[in-house]
Chains A and B, each alone.
Chain A
Amino acid sequence: QVTLKESGPVLVRPTETLTLTCSVSGFSLSNGGMGVSWIRQPPGKALEWLAHIFSNDEKSYNTSVKTRLSISKDTYKSQVVLSMTNMDPVDTGTYYCARLLGYKYGDPFEYWGPGILVTVSS
């Protein structure tokens, strides 16, 4: 059974760095396994893809926030970590991690975590 679950702070101050962890089970993050993305959703607004990491450690980022993002994985812990620097109130929203159905760019997001609501406020 494939599951993903996001964890991290629910409140961060402006200018701080947000670090979120996605803990996965039911599949491997090692070479040959599926990749994981981070996707966010401001309250009442649309989904926005942020970053992706494949099992071979290849990474890609949304160009609009690329300079602020870093994605990494710990295969042994079955975790994918997203860091976002210089947080701003507009970054408030629910952050999801999601696993691809396949192994390539463009494949859909088959499994999703429940999401974590992060509020940016002083």
Chain B
Amino acid sequence: QSALTQPRSVSGSPGQSVTLSCTGTKSDVDSHNSVSWYQQHPGNAPKLVIYDVTKRPSGVPDRFSGSKSGNTASLTISGLQAEDEADYYCCSYAGNYDWVFGGGTKLTVL
């Protein structure tokens, strides 16, 4: 199973909105609404911020939102804040009793 494709880096200024993309295939992202997103600060374990494409776990600000179109999922962060600077990973059910992660995007808040 090949990793999902994410841009290596994205940047934005405080208060702006940024959108991170995650491209898979017909077998994973396109076929299942089981896309999740994880935020990882340096030295820490990943934290779930979006699941089932659009759902937010309790405690995650509503500035975080998710969507999907075909084989591409997206994470949008609005009202960008300094603490949003982190690595972000998408993950999808891969269709064969397995999960597949993306290569990760480094978000820089300018």
Interface set of A (CB-CB < 8 Å, partner B): 37, 39, 46-49, 52, 60-64, 96, 101, 105-110, 112-115
Closest to B57 in A: A110
- Are B98 and A49 in touch, CB under 8 angstroms? yes
Total number of A-B contacts with CB less than 8 angstroms? 66
Known contacts A46-B89, A63-B1, A114 near B101 by CB under 8 Å = no
Q: How far is the CB of A7 from chain B (nearest CB, A)?
A: 15
Mask of B35-65 contacts with A, CB within 8 angstroms, 1/0: 0101000000111100110000100000000
Name B's A-contacting residues (CB within 8 A): 1, 3, 32, 34, 36, 38, 45-48, 51-52, 57, 89, 91-93, 96-104
Contacts A47-B89, A105-B93, A105-B97; A110 near B48 (Cβ below 8 A)? yes
Which residues of chain B come closer than 8 Å to A105, judged between CB atoms? 93, 97-99
CB distance from B57 to the nearest CB of A (A): 7
B52: which A residues are within 8 A, CB to CB? Answer: 108
23 A-B pairs in the complex with CB atoms less than 8 angstroms apart: A46-B103, A47-B91, A47-B101, A47-B104, A49-B91, A52-B98, A52-B99, A60-B98, A62-B98, A63-B1, A96-B45, A101-B57, A105-B98, A107-B51, A108-B34, A108-B48, A108-B52, A109-B36, A109-B38, A112-B45, A112-B46, A114-B45, A115-B45
Q: With A and B bound together, what is the CA distance between A101 and B91 in angstroms?
A: 14
